[in-house]
């Protein structure tokens, strides 16, 4: 059976398909061009050098393409590297699909779709419900494939929908403890809060920032979209202002990209739930990789902390 890249050890041969995550041209000390490829499947990724690359190679071996590679795992400056013996683009006859090489949310896609539909169905405020429905329809083709971020948390296929659904569950539980919460508003805020990322990022595979993403950011992008949706749906009312406010304030403070701090209860809760789910996702995934009695790697987005996994249960 063919081994995935995350399960091959240094010194062993490799012979399997991999997705090109990125391809960067360099010039070798002899003046000849070469390509640095980052290759991945759903088990992990590895670097490889394609020496003496032709112009043809440059056009063929680009990001988001799947390739068949024969080679060997070596070490270079302490990190594993794949030494390429043979490389070719995948053919239709190979029957491989890009999505099979990507990490995915740990929950089936259907469950995520269903949960969001259910929540919209429960809403009783018609203005809020119509706006949310509008966006689910508008983004049905991308919402369920995008990651929630380029790195740090939920950075996998369907990561955004997975993040939304866990947040919806937390919101439902909060309501039980604090009945004053306006659940329609909170649900809507959760579903909409990061949809601007569908414009900010380039796509579900090897996502990077678009020009709009870099110059505007997902927060103002989405606030504007809500304004336009309300106009299109002929909805006038405080709900529109409050939903925009929730989007604008959901990073919690100016230094973190929110032009307004939360000034409505549900906006504050949205910020808290967003924070909790991002943190839990980072901690749990890091802790899953270590044994009891050990510390995790440092988590950059959690103030660079290493977390300890206790030895008792």
Restricted to residues 1-40, the positions that interact with a copy of itself (CB under 8 A) are 9-11, 26-31
Quote the least distance from Cβ 263 to a copy of itself, whole Å: 5
Q: Spell out a b/e string for 102-130, using b for 16 or more CB atoms within 10 Å of the CB, else e.
A: bbbbeeeeeebbebbeebbeebebebbbb
Using CB under 8 A as the binding rule, whether residue 234 contacts a copy of itself is answered as no
By CB under 8 A, tell whether 307 contacts a copy of itself.
yes
Q: Are 244 and 223 in contact (CB under 8 A)?
A: yes
Residue 44 found at the interface with a copy of itself (CB under 8 A): no
Chosen residue from 125, 142, 152, 202 binding a copy of itself by CB under 8 A? 125
206's tokens:
């090897």
The dihedral over CA atoms of 40, 285, 297, 19, expressed in degrees to the nearest 10, equals 0
Choice between 68 and 265, CB closer to a copy of itself:
265
HEC string for 47-59? EEEECCCCHHHHH
Would you say 60 or 210 has its CB closer to a copy of itself?
Answer: 210
| Burial bucket for residue 68 (CB in 10 Å: 0-12, 13-18, 19+) | middle
Scanning residues 77 to 116, which ones bind a copy of itself (CB under 8 A)? 78
47 touches a copy of itself by CB under 8 A: no
- Of the two residues 29 and 141, which places its CB atom closer to a copy of itself in the complex? 29
Number of residues that bind a copy of itself (CB under 8 A): 83
Only segment of 41-49, 99-107, 150-158, 298-306 that touches a copy of itself (CB under 8 A):
298-306
Cβ atoms < 10 Å from Cβ of 143: 23
Among residues 237, 289, 297, 298, the one that binds a copy of itself under rule CB under 8 A: 237
Q: Contacting a copy of itself (CB under 8 A), which of 7, 51, 54, 76?
A: 76
Contacts to a copy of itself from residues 151-190, by CB under 8 A: 166, 169-170, 173-174, 176-178, 180, 182, 185
Residue for token pair 């090897």: 206
C-alpha torsion 230→231→235→238, nearest 10: 70
Residue 129 binds a copy of itself, judged by CB under 8 A: no
Among 107, 233, 287, 290, binds a copy of itself (CB under 8 A): 287
Q: Is 261 in the site for a copy of itself (CB under 8 A)?
A: yes
Q: Are 246 and 270 in contact (CB under 8 A)?
A: yes
**Cβ atoms of residues 146 and 154 within 8 Å:** no
Residue appearing with tokens 């799947």:
66
Under the binding rule (CB under 8 A), the answer on residue 214 touching a copy of itself is: yes
In whole angstroms, the minimum distance from the beta carbon of 65 to a copy of itself comes to 24
């Amino acid at each position: 059976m063919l081994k995935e890249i995350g399960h091959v050890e240094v010194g062993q041969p490799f012979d399997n398909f991999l997705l090109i995550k990125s391809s960067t041209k360099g010039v070798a000390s002899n003046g000849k061009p070469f390509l640095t490829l980052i290759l991945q499947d759903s088990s992990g990724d590895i670097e490889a050098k394609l020496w003496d690359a032709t112009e043809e190679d440059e056009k063929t071996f680009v990001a988001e393409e799947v390739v068949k590679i024969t080679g060997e795992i070596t070490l270079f400056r302490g990190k594993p590297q794949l030494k390429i013996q043979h490389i070719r683009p995948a053919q239709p006859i190979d029957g491989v699909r890009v999505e099979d090489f990507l990490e995915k949310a740990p929950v089936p896609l259907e469950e995520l779709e269903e949960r969001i539909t259910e929540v919209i169905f429960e809403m009783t405020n018609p203005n809020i419900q119509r706006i949310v429905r509008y966006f689910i329809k508008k983004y049905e083709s991308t919402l369920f494939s995008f990651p929630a971020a380029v790195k740090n948390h939920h950075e996998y296929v369907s990561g955004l929908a997975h993040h939304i659904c866990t947040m919806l569950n937390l919101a439902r539980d909060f309501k039980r403890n604090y009945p004053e919460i306006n659940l329609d508003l909170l649900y809507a805020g959760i579903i909409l809060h990061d949809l601007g990322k569908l414009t900010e990022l380039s796509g579900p595979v090897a996502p990077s920032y678009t020009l709009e993403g870099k110059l505007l950011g997902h927060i103002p992008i989405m606030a504007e979209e809500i304004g336009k949706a309300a106009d299109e749906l002929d909805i006038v009312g405080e709900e529109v202002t409050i939903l925009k406010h929730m989007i604008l304030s959901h990073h919690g403070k100016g230094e973190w990209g929110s032009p307004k701090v939360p000034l409505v209860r549900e906006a504050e809760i949205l910020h808290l739930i967003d924070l909790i789910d991002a943190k839990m996702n980072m901690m749990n995934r890091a802790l899953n990789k270590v044994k009891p009695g050990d510390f995790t790697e440092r988590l950059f987005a959690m103030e660079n902390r290493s977390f300890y996994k206790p030895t008792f249960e």
